[in-house]
Every structure is written in C-alpha cells, then in structure tokens.
Homo-oligomer: A and B are copies of this chain.
Amino acid sequence: MQFTEEMFARHMRPINGSAIREIFKLLAKPGMISFAGGNPSNTALEPEVVSGLAREALEKYGTTLLQYGATDGFNPFRESAAEFLRGSMVNCEAEDILPTQGGTQAFDVLLKALIDPGDAVLCESPTFLGAIQAMREYNAKLIPMPTDDQGVIVEAAEELIKAHHPKLMYVIPTFQNPTGITLSLPRRKALAALASKYGVVIAEDDPYRDLRYSGEPLPTIQSFDEEGWVVYMSSFSKYVAPGLRVGAAAIKNPVLRRKMVIGKQSADTHSPLLNQAIVDAYIRKGLMPGHLERICGDYRQQLNCMLDQMKLLPEGTVHTVPQGGLFIWAALPEGMDAMEVFNRAVAHNVAFVPGTHFYTEGGHLNTLRLNFSMSDIPTIREGMARLAEVIRG
C-alpha cells in the first residue's frame, strides 16, 4: 500500500505549517537582520541564573522533580504563578492555575475541550498565526472580528456572536500580535459582559502584558468576569525564557479546568517539573521585577528607535504606535505587495513577516509585522534603512 494524503485527518490535509516557521529557515543566512521573529532579545536571557536555580531546585526537591508529577501542576509553581498573575490584575488562586507548555498549550487543550468540527470561534482580524493554525487543526470555523486602534469593535463582535453562536472567542488584549494594539478598558469590560450574556468562553491570551514601555496597565478582561467564562493564558516565554516552555493558565471554572486537565493528561501527562521549579524560584526570589525593568528599558529604546525609523518607509505608510510588546504593524500604501517586498528584502538580508499570514481569509497584501526586540539599536537602524531601500526598489 502507498501512504496517501487521504490517510490524514481531513482538517490536517490543507495545513502545511506556520508561515513564520518557514520564514525562520531563511533567517539562518549570515548577515541577515531579522524583524521577523517574536523572540526575546538574547541579552534578556540568563543562562547562569537558570543554571543556579536548576541546581537549587534539584537540591531542594531531589527525586520529586524527576518523578512523574500531577497533570494539575507542581504546587509551588501554581502558588507563585497565581501570585504573579494577581500582580497582573488576574483574579486567581493557586488552585485555578494549570501549568502549560508556554501559552500555546493552554489554547490547544482549551480547543480540545470545547471544539467539535465546525464549531465557530471568533478571533481578532488580524490575529496570531499560530492560533489560526491551532483552530484549523480542530476544524473550527474561524470568524474574524473587525478591529480598530482600540482593539476588537464590540458592537461588531456582538453581531457576529448572534449570527454564528461561537463557543469561543480568542483575544490578545495587550500589545496584540501582530498589531501591538491594546484593547481599551471599556471594551475589556464589554467583552466580559458579552461572554456572560451569550455564554461564550473567552481565551484571553496575554503573554506580552508586562512588556509595557509607556502608559498605565489595564485590568484584564478576566478581572471583569464573575462567572468563569474567561480563560486567562499567560506565559513566561517573554519574561524569563521561551526555551523552558513554561506557561500558566488561570481557569476559574472548575468544570472547564477539569476538562482541560484531562486533555493535557493525554497530551503530555504533565509539564516537566524542573522547568516549573525554575520559574517558581525565579518568581519567589523576587527576580522578576528587576528583570522586567531591565528588559523593558532596552525594549523601550528599541521600539522608539524603530518608530523613529518608520519615517524611512514610503509616504502613505501607516503604522501602529504600541505602548509595549514586541511588534509594530504597518500598512504600506495601497497596491504595494509585502509578499513581493519580502522576497527582495530577504535577498538584501533583512526580513519581516508579511501581514497577510495573520488574516484568516488572507488578503491585506500591503501589511507587514516588524519585531524590534531581537535587534539592538544600530541593527534596527541598518535594517530599516535596508528595508526602505528594498521597498523603493
């Protein structure tokens, strides 16, 4: 017998992997300046600190960290994660916390718990392309919600809820990926109210929240939710280290949390204990505030530099002015094609992500996403100059 495309599950047949991850393969070229990724800066990573915390954790907990653990999580980590999230205006206790493999897994097990093939899921337009792929793998019907410079347009979202009866709404409220836009306070309240009014679970994906360089933190959507409709998904990838794969979801609804735990049980039994213990120690030792202050100081300068360099792009280019996060979003003048620019840019050793990949329906060919966290100031200047030159043609 021959292995054929029909062997695959129907929903998996058309999915050929994240465009970003394909783009990454082009970036190994020496001399490449990449504004494409969503990585923290290498200077934000602390191998010696992690090594010390790993040693201390293994001394403290011994074989406990090497044995099987509970799917619900390593309790010291659940406690410290809950404390950290309360500091981010999330209403939670240790028992609400499910440790996950980055924020990614929280959404995966939430989809597994809720979605039957064909179920509608609302998401921002544009949105994180990894989330688009995850929703497609569960054969969800993706319904894009219109957005403006304050995030999701609530009235439009309500009409879409009435029309499509979604089980789930996926929102990145703070320094959104890809746009960098932050959902306004009134809209946060309004989305929480919609969830309760119509019985829609909100996946509040908030991994950039503490990378704020100006303005005041806003309460989470979850903080306005009194009935357990919001699953708050955080991650330590952007704050400590993505390679450790440590995230934490806060799930107040015990029935939903239980189903997510069951889904995770079959997915990976439990999250690795050493990794949970490292992040637990990072929080408990009080390393987070100083670390965030340091990296935010650097990222603020990088953002400001890139914002300043946006003037090099063609007249008629518009872009967001984020207060934090990792990304600036730009629209070149109508009629320009960022995919075509991308191919020439890579040949000239500068890269970004064409914006079309962030739309469930494609199109929007003139848009692009620029990352500033991975490049220092001189590199941002050089890369933006190269990009401007490529666009001029």
Contacts and interface: CB of A to CB of B under 8 A. Distances in A.
Main secondary structure of the interface of A (DSSP, over half): helix
A272 B245 contact: yes
A243 B272 contact: yes
A392 interface: no
Contact of A262 (B16, B65, B67, B229): B16
Contact of A59 (B51, B59, B268, B271): B51
Interface residues of A, number: 90
| Chain multiplicity (copies) | 2
B263 A12 contact: yes
A228 to B, nearest CB: 7
Interface in A100-115: 101-102, 104-105, 108, 112-115
Contacts of A51: 54-55, 58-59
Contacts of A197: 1
A27 to B, nearest CB: 12
A249 to B, nearest CB: 13
A367 to B, nearest CB: 23
A102 to B, nearest CB: 6
Contact of A199 (B1, B11, B108): B1
Nearest to A244: B272
Contact of A245 (B39, B256, B271): B271
A146 interface: no
B8 A114 contact: yes
A363 interface: no
A9 B113 contact: yes
A268 B114 contact: no
Interface of A: 1-3, 7-12, 15-18, 21, 37-40, 42, 45-48, 50-51, 54-55, 58-59, 61-71, 101-102, 104-105, 108, 112-117, 119, 130, 133-134, 137, 167, 196-199, 201, 227-229, 237, 241-245, 253, 255-256, 258-259, 261-263, 265-275
Given A16-B258, A17-B262, A54-B274, 9 more contacts: A1-B196, A39-B67, A50-B66, A64-B243, A66-B243, A68-B237, A101-B269, A133-B265, A242-B269
17 contacts: A1-B196, A1-B197, A1-B199, A1-B227, A7-B114, A39-B67, A45-B67, A54-B54, A66-B242, A68-B237, A68-B243, A101-B267, A102-B269, A243-B274, A245-B270, A267-B267, A268-B268
